Amino acid sequence: MKIKPSSRRKIFPIESPCKKTTYNSLIDAKESIAYLQENKFVKDLTAYKCSVCGFWHLTSK
């Protein structure tokens, strides 16, 4: 069976006004922190919700 696309529009990813790595939720950010602490030996990371873009970022402060 051949699937035909419903439209020919190009889809562009949403760009955040921040140049930092963005996470959609606190859970996603915490999973990234856990991975970094286990595999990259990074300590003291926390997640915060950005007041500019509304996404979550990581900080070491």
In angstroms, rounded to a whole number, what is the distance separating the alpha carbons of residues 11 and 14?
Answer: 9
- Given a cut of 80, is residue 58 above it in pLDDT? yes
- pLDDT confidence of residue 30: 94
Structure confidence by residue, pLDDT tens digits, 5-40? 555 665 555 677 888 889 999 999 999 999 999 898
- pLDDT confidence of residue 10: 59
Neighbours of 23 (CB within 10 A): 20
Domain ranges in the chain are 26-59
**Dihedral sign (CA 18, 22, 43, 41):** negative
Q: How confident is the model at residue 41 (pLDDT cuts 50, 70, 90)?
A: confident
- pLDDT confidence of residue 40: 85
- pLDDT confidence of residue 14: 64
Radius of gyration of the chain (CA): 17
Tell me the H-state helices in the chain: 26-39
